[in-house]
Structure 1
Amino acid sequence: MRYINIIFILMWAGLFQTNQSLGQNGVKDTIIFCTHKVVLDNQNKLIPWFTPVENAYDHFLRLRWDFIKNKVPNSPGPHPRSKYPQYYFYCGFKNNNVLEYDTWMNDVAEKMPNWFENARLYYAYTGDPSVMTIVKNMMEYYITHGTSPANFVWPNFPYTTTNAGDTIFQGFTTASRFKLHEIQVDHAGEMGLAYYRMYLYSGEKKYLNAALHVANVLAANARIGTADKSVWPYRVIMDSGKITAEYGANWTGCYMLMDNLVRDNLGNVAFYKEALIKARNFILQFPMKTGYWTDGHTDTDVNSNTYKSNLSASNTTLCMFDYAELNPNWKEDIPKLIKWTEDYFVSRSAQGEPSTMWGANIVGEQDSFMYKMDYQTARYAAVCARWYAVSGDESYKEKAYRSLNWVTYCNDSTGKAFESPVSKGISTWWSDCYGECPRMFYQAFAGVPEFAPPHENHILYSEGILKNISYDKGMVSYVATSANGIEYLRLAFKPKMVKLNGKEIWNDNSLDSDTYKVKNLDGGGYSVIIKRLKKGEVIIVE
């Protein structure tokens, strides 16, 4: 019956074709899903459609950036809007047609942070700096045209939304859900983190100044959180300071922004430290215990302290892998959070939609929008992969693998994404499909380096910002912009020497500071993890 339901849904959505029937024990005949022939292994479980299979995730990541670079039309007129790509001013496209831009809204502060993360990780993975130019240009436009005036109660702070097609950002008002100048504070904090990271990459002080403005406003408005009121209000109207929603739980972007500024001794460090304590205490005392991971993304007018969204829980889980000091009990809490996602957003579904397909768990978004989505499924896979690296529990590696395989089907051979391929009438959003979804693959690579292609050299993941990346024969080099960092690589060669700022560091499985660890990988090549105390140039040679 489960497979019959899947057929009905996918035929309804127009992304499924089959020539024959399905048997009770699984798929028996040729099935086309999202334009690709479904490929199953001998357990009737999903594997990627692309061959060679070991390059499928790499191919997926390159396809999606190629689509952004080469296949997105400019925005409709008038000038100056028509000078810029469609993704600057619109949330997505409808009916699987990139020419049919979605006029619902522009989710500025979901798009920009996710695109920045995807770009900087793709740049590290490939050495291709063109993607950083794309996001740098977009960020500059958003800062210039989407920052509150200095005389507002929340001054020099990012607009998180605006109406579709707006060239000056003032908030999403056309659906009558929000007021003029109303913003989501959590997503504004994520914008601030992206600004700071762009400063580390570019060295341009305007991005540092923008980040400091965000951090200063956040620190000034931090409060002691309760079960009804979070450490920051979830939504405010910036000109008056009026609070329109008291409770949210997606605060890791705000936390990481101020934590990074404290580490680098920038801005009002003492002020930020006070806010960090309040943020940590709220996260651990309330959503971590109650399970009320509340946010409504940028277009849902949530005003509740019991609403659930996978994004808030997922962001917190991923943060704990890189910021273990956030939660001393992270090793106990992370498997509970994975189960929380499975209980609320895998097992629960929009009416008629499946929870699994061919052995892959697929994941919904939030209480009022339960449709299964590629980017939420990628989030889940990333968490499972990283937890596998900590726990050694093979079941999490299997979950990550099957879910990522499903995600690779969610675009056609040109890179045009299908965000919700088992749903009817759901638009494909630029933020979700070309930022949030692909960036999760690098987290998965950190947990399972075998997921990256063999016989190639790649920086798989780093929490910190890397620049001056170079891939040469028998050598990889980069500059790490922050101290106390970890880089994950898959290399075709076994390193003979690793240098940090010209000084050799040692191969040591204990991974003490300024050491590296090498592991032979199935399929060929090596996993290399470098742990640094200092920032600076890293050179890895064969």
Structure 2
Amino acid sequence: MHSLFASRPGFIGALTCVLLTGCVAPSGAPEPTEAPTAITTVRQALACSGGGSIDQHAAQCDGTGKLLSWAPPTNPGSSAAYDYVLDLNQNYLLALPNLSNLTNPSVAKPAYYAHSYLCSGTAPGCSPAGQPVGWPHNPAGLNAMLIESGLAYSPYKDDPRLRNAALALLDWHLAHGMTAVGDHWSQVPYASGASGTLTYAGAQAGGSVGVGDGVGYLQPEKVGALAWAAVQAFKFNGNTAYRDMAINAANQLTSHLRTPTATVSPWPYRVRASDNAVRTGANIVDNYASNVVEPLKLFQELIKLGQAGTLNGAPGYSSTQLAQWQSTQATVLAWLLGSNGPIATQNWTQYFEDVGSDATNNLNQLVPGETAKFLMDNPGLDPSWQAHVQNIIAFIETNFGDTLEFGARPIKEQYAFHYKMGSHTSRYAAVNARYAELTGDAAAKDKAFRAFNWATYMVRNSGLTIDGPYPNNVWFTDGWGDFIRHFVIGMGAQPDWAPAGQNHLLRSTSVVKSVTYGPGNEVRYTTYDASATEVLRLAFVPSTVTAGGTALSQRTDLAADGWTFDTGNNALRIRHSTSGVIVITGAPPT
């Protein structure tokens, strides 16, 4: 998901152009998206007009000439498409062998412990397929994404493997990737690490232009990201080491909060762990970062746990800390939504660990896209969430939307790397899918559907997942961490995109601790929170839904506890507030 300059022809020239002279990125708004069509009635797959392929798959279109997924090969574009692609994708990652040449310590681990990406075997100058590339590693961002993906996908599939792999990465990071006790930023995660090393302490690549965080430097936003993921992991298995790490991260973020302005963000982009010095240099501008939703997500979760009494007695926690977290959350949220914040200024800069810093020119789509997701998940925090999300979608389309491909809009990464990519296209799709769910916007649903379909073409038959048609490399963020989670969000928002005739838990507002599909027409699951809502697609018609053994009533909405069922797509939606132990029983559909 990052700059991907390494092992490509013209690397030095491109780096110099983008990072030193501030080259102007391609400009101009993309062509308008065509009017939406009834996508549920035109899925018969045909070769797209004019033929052609996207990466290694022949392009498949529906009867209106708009893009469908290539998957599954026996029925392209069917409701099984995303499930099929994600299964290939997960299996490839989990089958990667241990590497014996990793250092510090010398322990055999899969490549994603110490490398950011692999060769695809088809990218210029990068082979063979599966060969790790010597480029700064991005463990905090990657591990946070993989934890989110694992905790969402594993219950969807009733397959614990991705979740287990992600939690093992979190354990490793806590043991081998934290700042020192006594540092100004004490015992928080580093965002990057040197290629091939299993101890993370910042990375250096490019020196004066700021590529790589710098040895001994961290990113406060990634502190928030991994700590938020640790809270979710704590909810899943109760490991108090995850809870304690998150509490300390929140305390560190609170103690380092600044008074934000239009040019000074609540936290800098990169700071030295030992003394809190903002990274500086002739071509380095690290005092500003637009990504505050990761810390906001962390504070949101910890405040809820604190108010529930769950954190009582935990190291670093007190009622005073709770009040400070609430104050920090209010300050940061006010900046994000106010006239000095990036929603108003559109100064959506700084995120990627491996590019030179540029607080004014190197716009990206990741941060506004993640911000839009956060606002839709927490509409009570922003009375103007709908207008803000509309503006963010327009910003992404104008600045990062590529030429339409059979009605699908691929999305580019950042100005410093203006190439269309699968993960970013899937984020754009997820944002539009959620927006369509909340507003009924048919055009947004069609944009989401076509964008998800385009992103599936980045997954090859082997499960190897490229970042994009060019540069055609295999990033662990773009191919897995930042890819899987968005497809699960999309299916949760639009259940007809999940496989028909199967049982799947698509979404919960809580962490799902366990799920069992069957025997027969039955689904059982348990959520961490007693109060939550879920979305499922079922292979049967539910007759009874219980929470903690008490029957919930079928309703026409979820204004109160109960459940609704859409006979058109077998989507079951449940709201419960007294117990997270849910049992669904029923009969086959007629």
Do the structures match in fold with TM over 0.5? yes
- Contact 1:458 / 1:491 at 8 angstroms: preserved in 2? yes
1:36 paired residue number: 57
Q: Of 443, 449, 452, which aligns to 1:401?
A: 449
- Contact 1:201 / 1:465 at 8 angstroms: preserved in 2? yes
Give, in whole Å, the separation in 1 of the partners of 2:425 and 2:161: 27
2:40 paired residue number: none
Matches within 5 A, 1:85-164: 85-96=110-121, 97-164=128-195
Q: Of 513, 537, 540, which aligns to 1:493?
A: 540
Read off the aligned partner of 1:288 and give its amino acid letter: I
Give, in whole Å, the separation in 1 of the partners of 2:254 and 2:302: 12
1:452 paired residue number: 498
Question: Percent identity, aligned pairs only?
Answer: 25
Give, in whole Å, the separation in 2 of the partners of 1:361 and 1:314: 15
Read off the aligned partner of 1:284 and give its amino acid letter: L
Q: Of 34, 56, 63, which aligns to 2:81?
A: 56
Deviations 1:362-399 (A, max 9, x none): 00111211110000000000111111112212111111
- Contact 1:148 / 1:157 at 8 angstroms: preserved in 2? yes
1:39–1:260: structure 2 CA closer, same or farther, 3 Å change rule? same
Give, in whole Å, the separation in 2 of the partners of 1:235 and 1:320: 25
Matches within 5 A, 1:136-535: 136-176=167-207, 177=210, 178-244=213-279, 245-265=286-306, 266=311, 267=317, 268-285=321-338, 286-305=341-360, 307-346=362-401, 354-421=402-469, 423=470, 425-472=471-518, 473-522=520-569, 526-535=570-579
Q: CA deviation at 1:305?
A: 4.5
Q: Secondary structure at the match of 1:370?
A: strand
Give, in whole Å, the separation in 2 of the partners of 1:369 and 1:534: 49
Give, in whole Å, the separation in 1 of the partners of 2:103 and 2:256: 39
Read off the aligned partner of 1:510 and give its amino acid letter: D
1:495–1:333: structure 2 CA closer, same or farther, 3 Å change rule? same
Q: TM-score, normalised by structure 1?
A: 0.89
Give, in whole Å, the separation in 2 of the partners of 1:378 and 1:61: 12
Give, in whole Å, the separation in 2 of the partners of 1:479 and 1:65: 24
Q: CA deviation at 1:81?
A: 4.1
Give, in whole Å, the separation in 1 of the partners of 2:534 and 2:500: 18
- Contact 1:47 / 1:402 at 8 angstroms: preserved in 2? yes
- Contact 1:110 / 1:298 at 8 angstroms: preserved in 2? no
- Contact 1:45 / 1:360 at 8 angstroms: preserved in 2? yes
Read off the aligned partner of 1:359 and give its amino acid letter: G
1:224–1:325: structure 2 CA closer, same or farther, 3 Å change rule? farther
Give, in whole Å, the separation in 1 of the partners of 2:390 and 2:204: 39
Deviations 1:178-214 (A, max 9, x none): 4321111111110000111111111111111111111
Give, in whole Å, the separation in 2 of the partners of 1:161 and 1:112: 11
Give, in whole Å, the separation in 2 of the partners of 1:94 and 1:152: 37
Give, in whole Å, the separation in 2 of the partners of 1:276 and 1:192: 15
Task: Name structure 2 gaps, 5 residues minimum.
Answer: 1-46, 122-127, 280-285, 312-316
Q: Secondary structure at the match of 1:518?
A: strand
Deviations 1:80-110 (A, max 9, x none): 5451001110001124344321111110112
Read off the aligned partner of 2:276 and give its amino acid letter: G
- Contact 2:104 / 2:197 at 8 angstroms: preserved in 1? no
1:224–1:79: structure 2 CA closer, same or farther, 3 Å change rule? closer
- Contact 1:93 / 1:427 at 8 angstroms: preserved in 2? yes
Identify the range of structure 1 (189-198 vs 509-518) with the bigger mean alpha-carbon deviation.
Answer: 509-518
Task: Name structure 1 gaps, 5 residues minimum.
Answer: 1-25, 347-353
2:7 paired residue number: none
In terms of fraction of residues, the more helix-rich structure is: 1
Deviations 1:506-529 (A, max 9, x none): 22223124222211224xxx1112
Q: Secondary structure at the match of 1:365?
A: strand
Q: TM-score, normalised by structure 2?
A: 0.82
Read off the aligned partner of 2:515 and give its amino acid letter: I
Please report the RMSD computed on the Cα atoms of aligned residues, expressed in angstroms. Answer: 1.8
1:451–1:198: structure 2 CA closer, same or farther, 3 Å change rule? same
- Contact 1:250 / 1:311 at 8 angstroms: preserved in 2? no
Give, in whole Å, the separation in 1 of the partners of 2:243 and 2:525: 22
